Amino acid sequence: MPRVIAPSMLSADFGHLERDCRMVNRSAAGWFHLDVMDGIFVPNISFGFPVCQAIARVAQKPLDAHLMIIEPWTYVERFAKLGVQYLSFHYEACNLRQLRSTIRLVRSCGMGVGVAINPETPAEVLIPWLRQIDYVVVMGVHPGYSGQKYIPETTEKVGVLAEMIAAQGADCFIQVDGGVSTANIAELERLGAGVFVAGSAAFSSANPLAAIRALKTAK
Ligand code: DX5
Ligand code: ZN
């Protein structure tokens, strides 16, 4: 797949949210990434439906919601109604029965379904699920905050996952979320990742359009 950059709107300026959404529309980014946190699954609270809706009104590219919340199944239908096209939730937030039923629920709502794994969760836990999901989210940081340092072991994990996906002939892509920059994006892509979330790498720059372009083209 061609490299997709998904700017994390958590790093946008909420005082100028519409401006930042329009910037993403004009940019080389492929998707909008929406980080939803509940203060329970992760030690931070980000934003919920009103903010997602405000973004949805302006966004002209697919919305990718990343639920860092407990009981993610509770809110799946509401995200679908907002126009979200890709929805990921955490492996660590579910038991196996809940994982199975939430994957089915996201699919039945017409969205692409992703399962996210935290840095301490081994890639192998996803072996039974790769043929049932559209993407894996490999966290490059501990979820909860943008602007953290990339955890280097993530790189090897992406390679392992890509091999597991190929071995099963699964139709599943890899998204890397957290700590992505022009310094690591090309190697992660070479190992098999296709979608790259960028919070601080996109928005901390004085010129976010150029920063997103740099992520899209970094070799
Ligand atoms: C982390 C979020 C990420 C994060 C990315 O909890 O899921 O999407 O905001 O931010 P950076 O790119 O700054 O690590
Ligand atoms: Zn995220």
Tell me which H or E stretch contains 32.
strand 32-37
Q: How many domains does the chain have?
A: 1
pTM reported for the whole predicted model: 0.98
What separation in Å is there between the alpha carbon of 33 and the centre of ligand 2?
Answer: 7
Share of the chain above pLDDT 90, in %: 100
Average pLDDT value for residue range 54-66:
98
What separation in Å is there between the alpha carbon of 32 and the centre of ligand 1?
Answer: 12
CB of 181 sitting under 6 A from ligand 1: no
Q: Which atom of ligand 1 is nearest to the CA of 10?
A: 9
**Residue among 20, 38, 134, 177 flagged as catalytic:** 177
CB of 114 sitting under 6 A from ligand 1: no
Share of the chain above pLDDT 70, in %: 100
pLDDT of 168 reads 98
The set of residues, in sequence order, having a beta carbon less than 8 Å from that of 139 and lying 6+ positions away, is 116, 117, 118, 119, 154, 177, 178
Q: Residue 110 class from Cβ within 10 Å (0-12 exposed, 13-18 middle, 19+ buried)?
A: exposed
Domain membership of residue 110 as a residue range: 4-217
Condensed to tens digits (0 to 9), the pLDDT of residues 91-150 reads 999 999 999 999 999 999 999 999 999 999 999 999 999 999 999 999 999 999 999 999
Average pLDDT value for residue range 161-165:
98
* Predicted confidence band of residue 37 (pLDDT cuts 50, 70, 90): very high
Q: What is the CATH number of the domain that holds 29?
A: 3.20.20.70
pLDDT of 17 reads 98
What separation in Å is there between the alpha carbon of 206 and the centre of ligand 2?
Answer: 22
Rounded CA separation 142/173 (Å):
21
Average pLDDT value for residue range 51-73:
98
Is 13 an active-site residue? no
* Predicted confidence band of residue 3 (pLDDT cuts 50, 70, 90): very high
Contact 67, 75 (CB under 8 A): yes
**Residue among 20, 35, 64, 134 flagged as catalytic:** 35
Average pLDDT value for residue range 26-41:
98
Is 35 an active-site residue? yes
